[in-house]
Structure 1
Amino acid sequence: MLGQEAAKMKRETGWLGSHLIQLEVTFRQNSQIKAVNQAFHLVFPVVLVGTLADMVRQTWLASTGYYFQTLHVGDWLMQRTVLKHYLSLLSAGTLGLVAMFMAFAVSYYLVAPVTKRTTDRLMVGVVAVTGLKFFNVDRLTLLNGQPVQWLSNNLGISGILVGILIGLIVGDGYRWGIQHWLLAEERLGQTMTIASIWLLVLAAGGLAWTLTQKGSLNATFLSLARWPFPLPHQLPGLLGFNLLTGLCQWLGILGPVASVGGQSVEAAQNLASVLTHAGWQIPHPITIHTVVDVYTNFGGPGMMLGLLLAIYLGHSNGAQRRVGAACLLPTLGNYNAPLMVGLPVVLSPILGIPFLVTPVVCSLLSWTCLQLHWVPAVAYPIANGTPGILQGFLGTGGNMAALALAGVELLISVLIYYPFVKWSRLAGEAAHHAEKTSH
């Protein structure tokens, strides 16, 4: 029976689809990945609320926001400053602590299957959160003998990867201790001993890192996405930046990623040239901003707007559609964190492929059109939260060729994502069926 189902799936999805589905099912059945995915489901509402708050603050209430400028929000909204403060607090209290939530949840879900004691389940989460803090210490306060301060900026969505790693390490170690502890009758002593050992080990690891490294663990991972490519204005540098940014995002380093140095200066020179000279002759037509930021980040890095449309155009299941509906507003504003966590795209073998490939294909097309002068390069500043498909149009002063290019690239992204969304749905159903039959 299982062989017949596998043969049927292979006929429906093809060789590539069937192999990717099998890989995804095996991946999801791993206890480590299962705990990570359960943690994503737990923190998704927190990420969604925080992202919506951050989006409203930056796009509706800030003077550089798209809706603030187009709807003249400053002329009619009362108490705008108070509302900005409120949304800043809401965003910081949610998005700013996501890495801690992930460390807690991953370790909790790893220990939950081996013990029914609530104390053990909660204690491992507390230990994981504490360990994450040990690796996010303000180095100068520790070395100068001052009261220790924490690097709270590294505990948000850009620290999800570190939170996952800490949660896995602590959760696995704690679980091993529960399963192999000799004095199992003394439960309180067992809990205290295991927790104390892990706190001492993590504190020693955090101290060793702080004394030998100038940056935090999270900053070390994030620095990979700020690679100083030697050819930022040529195709290899653009594609390399795309791939590295996508890889970091897929691993869980979410949030804005800094571009190659000097981009702001070049953007200012492009704008000055357009304002002071006749025609549209700009000195830097090929930059990460004019190619990558404008044409490959619809819905955020990875062309997530294409993924969202593929979910609704394809035969997606109810769970995928509900996540897509919840993430519609932030995705239209180019905030991809809710969709990355909600599906999840992070650490998904199937969805990771189009997530990495789509921006590269769109960058190739954008670079070609700019090189052949089929579209002008963007010169005008683009307001925060401008819908991705309108960025090229508005940044070129209303050029229809730029709008057409954006439309073509959005269509290409949907076509690339479409089969992978279907395969991801089938993999999820197969994994769920396999879990039910195993019980």
Structure 2
Amino acid sequence: MATIGAYFQLLKDGIFSPDSLIYNIFNFDYTMPDVFWNAGNAVSAGMVKVTFGIFGIYAAYFSAVYTARLYKKDSTMAGIASVIVITFCSYLSEFSRSNSMQANFYSRILSINGILLALCVGYIVGQVFHFLGKNYVPSRTEHVLRIQHRAWNALLPTIASVALGLVLGVIIYLFKIRLLDTYYFKSIISSLENSNNLLIIILLTMLTSFLWWGGIGYPLTSLTTSTNSGAALANMNYALRHGNAQDVPYKYLGSSMVHSYGIMGDASIVLALTVVILIYTHNREIEAVAKANLLPVAFGSPNGLFIGLPILLNPIYLLPCLLIPALNELIAAGAISLRLISPSVYPVLSGTPGILISFFGSNGNWPTFIFTLLLFTLDVVLMIPVIQIGQRIAEKLTVYDEEEDRYAK
């Protein structure tokens, strides 16, 4: 599901967007018929909405399913109950925000960037079924009477789960709690984008990377787009007047440091990880996921690999997610101070491959491009031991599962 959404995200941001790189290279404004563009834009935007926009529904469902299944409870009923809870909380969250009789059902709670809350809801519902539900043994054949029996056995935990959801939803409505609201992230994003203090930039980059790893991707997603802050405009105006960006007033501006070097449009972590998987891994399933997501990841749509690998809440990837962007920014700041590369001051079109962001942002400065390639190579090298550790853990888990199946027989 996430991989499908990643491809349509690529189409939406990279082809059917007038501000995208591919759209402008091929001059689609003149070469693409309006009917085709309108249809493509509607289809890609719609698929992104029904995959990433309501991904929290899928996350809550499967979180409840696998939690209940772990304790041999009716996982399907648990999944249905979790969907009711997460959608109800989402609706009341939007209702309390809009203060009108018509609320937008597609809340930030349901977005893939707020997946942590959905996973928690699903887990809690699964635990309710653990303590209140009856044991369930799957059957190859299901008939009406058996389904009725299942529904009756799941009635108590379902009522309890929905009651918890009602309480949470009412609390959200009465106290107007804006879960995952942009207001709580804007201060972080604004401080990071407008700061020229390298220490603050590195610390806030690590914070946003940690939130992204933990399932709250709104701050990091906001940083993948160009900013129109006063400091960014001052840098661009200086570069336009003087013909170069070496002595801009804000050399270490957070928006350019993070976007061009820290995360490189998600290339520093996700694309580097994809390259390492394709070169070093021996796991066919993981390699298949990496191959399927290579194209979207290269153009800045990492959610397919983020979910499919998974990177989300995986302790193996915590340190790389925190340290690699910070290290990239430190190295880039050193290169800028030594005048080896030029600061990125120009706007970059959406859908630009992460490795090329600094190149276009510095108006085609070739030393900057070579430096970014070397920096990306360093990121790939740093990811190699992470993949090796992951392979060892996977091998041990495989052996453990085989032994467990043997004892079960």
Q: 2:357 aligns with which of 388, 391, 397?
A: 391
1:197 aligns with 2:160: yes
Change (3 A) 1:105 1:305: same
Q: What is the CA distance between 1:68 and its match in structure 2?
A: 1.0
Alignment partner for residue 249 of structure 2, among 266, 278, 283? 283
1:215 is matched with: 178
Aligned ranges for residues 300-315 of structure 1 at < 5 Å?
300=266, 303-315=269-281
Q: 1:294 to 1:245 in 2, by over 3 A?
A: same
Tell me how far 1:93 sits from its aligned partner.
Answer: 1.0
Which residue does 1:258 correspond to in 2? 222
Once residues 194 and 364 of structure 2 are traced to their aligned partners in structure 1, the CA distance between those partners, rounded to angstroms, is 30
**Aligned counterparts of 2:294 and 2:193: Cα–Cα separation in 1:** 37
| Partner amino acid, structure 2, of 1:421 | I
Aligned to 1:249: 212
SS of 2:133 mapped into structure 1? helix
1:319 is displaced (CA, Å) by 1.8
Q: Which residue of 2 aligns with 1:355?
A: 321
2:37 to 63, 80, 83: 80
> What are the residue-to-residue correspondences of 1:8-407 with 2, within 5 Å?
46-78=1-33, 79-115=36-72, 120-138=74-92, 141-142=95-96, 146=101, 149-179=104-134, 188-216=151-179, 226=189, 228=191, 232-254=195-217, 256-259=220-223, 264-280=229-245, 281-298=247-264, 300=266, 303-407=269-373
Shift of residue 102 of structure 1? 0.5
Structure 1: which 5+ residue stretches go unaligned?
Answer: 1-45
RMSD in angstroms over aligned alpha carbons? 2.8
Identity %: 20
Paired amino acid for 1:124: A
Which residue of 1 is the match for residue 144 of structure 2? none
Partner of 2:50: helix, strand, or coil?
Answer: helix
Give the letter for the 1:208 counterpart.
Answer: I
Task: Tell me, in whole angstroms, the C-alpha distance in 2 between the residues paired with 1:64 and 1:94.
Answer: 23
Q: Is the 8 A contact 2:109 2:118 kept in 1?
A: no
Query: Does the CA contact (< 8 Å) of 1:114 and 1:179 recur in 2?
Result: no
Shift in alpha-carbon separation, 1:123–1:222, aligned structure 2, 3 A: farther
Q: For residues 193 and 147 of structure 1, what CA distance do their matches in structure 2 show?
A: 32
The TM-score normalised by the length of structure 1 is: 0.81
Give 1:436 shift. Answer: 1.8
The amino acid that maps onto 2:42 is H
* Contact 2:355–2:373 (8 Å) recurs in 1: yes
CA–CA distance in 2 between the matches of 1:317 and 1:331?
A: 20
Deviates more, 1:211-220 or 1:424-433: 211-220
Please name the residue that 2:145 is paired with. none
Counterpart contact for 2:5–2:304, Cα < 8 Å: no
1:169 offset after TM fit, Å? 0.6
CA contact (8 A) 1:135 1:217 kept: no
Shift in Å, 1:196: 1.4
Q: How far does residue 217 in structure 1 lie from its aligned partner after superposition? A: 5.0
CA contact (8 A) 1:247 1:356 kept: yes
Write the distance in 2 (CA, Å) between the matches of 1:355 and 1:141: 35
2:90 aligned counterpart, secondary structure: coil
TM-score (norm 2): 0.86
- Which shifted more, 289-298 or 98-107? 289-298
What does the per-residue CA deviation read over 1:315-356, in whole Å, with 9 as the maximum and x for residues that have no partner?
442122111101101111122211111111111111222222
User: Following TM superposition, by how much is the alpha carbon of 1:127 offset from its aligned partner in structure 2, in angstroms?
Assistant: 1.4
Deviation at 1:299, TM superposition (A): 5.3
Deviation at residue 282 of structure 1 after TM alignment: 2.3
Instruction: Classify the secondary structure of the residue corresponding to 2:54.
Output: helix
Give the superposition deviation at 1:286: 1.3
Is this contact kept in 2: 1:137–1:216, CA < 8 A? Answer: no
Letter in 2 for 1:90: M
